Amino acid sequence: MFKQFAASLTFLAVLPLAWAQTPAPANPTVRLRATIEKVDATSLTVRERSGEVITLVRPAEMDVSEVYPLSLADIKPGSYIGTAAMPQADGSQLALEVLVFPEAARGTGEGHRPWDLRPDSTMTNATVADLAAAPTSVPGGQKLTLRYKDGEKTVIVPPHVPVVSFKPGKADENVLLVPGARVMITAQEKAGKPTALRVIVGRNGFAPPM
């Protein structure tokens, strides 16, 4: 049952992290993109995108955030965003999704690094330094200049790409964490059991795109 979880832990242990050159921790965290199958007061059973069903411990202190949709127009100069993207031949990044961080979360995970949404995808958390219309090859999109403490990236955001933000969901977790809900879970093995540390969940079937 925990084969995919164990494999993911192994993957993260060898993944080169752009922000650190130190050895991976003994129990690294792992991201699971899944759909809730069953939930009770102490556990979450989910079907991961690979198809594997995994049961995780649901600790009382587990953080819950609700992800909700925005529009492309909600990305402003000065916004602090995170974007999963695919590197392009010209050195730019083609966005797969954009997360507009709440102001209280500005600075979270700043930088550019590998990501696991798709093979070879990246994640850039940075401030929008400039915003313009995308090239004519991406009509209706936006061209973002993202600036972070160690560099800068150009990101092209097509008009169909999901743009989201998040807010605290702990107070509504019994409404949000229901069978059929789409989730992204940060998990870690604790006392030999997969344990959910944080859940990002969409309401009414909305899927976290990151």
Confidence (pLDDT) at 14 = 29
Domains of the chain: 3-66+166-205 (2.40.50.140), 73-165 (no CATH)
Query: Which residues, including other chains, have CB under 8 Å from residue 99's CB and lie 6 or more apart?
Result: 81, 82, 83, 163, 164, 165, 166, 210
CB neighbourhood size of 167 (10 A): 10
Distance of CA 149 to CAs 93, 107, 125, 145, 200, Å?
Answer: 18, 10, 10, 13, 27
Confidence (pLDDT) at 27 = 80
Confidence (pLDDT) at 26 = 64
Residue ranges of the chain whose pLDDT lies below 50: 1-24
> How many residues are given for the chain?
210
Please give the helix or strand (H or E) that residue 148 lies within, else none: strand 142-148
pLDDT tens sequence across 60-108: 999 999 999 999 999 999 999 999 999 999 999 999 999 999 999 999 9
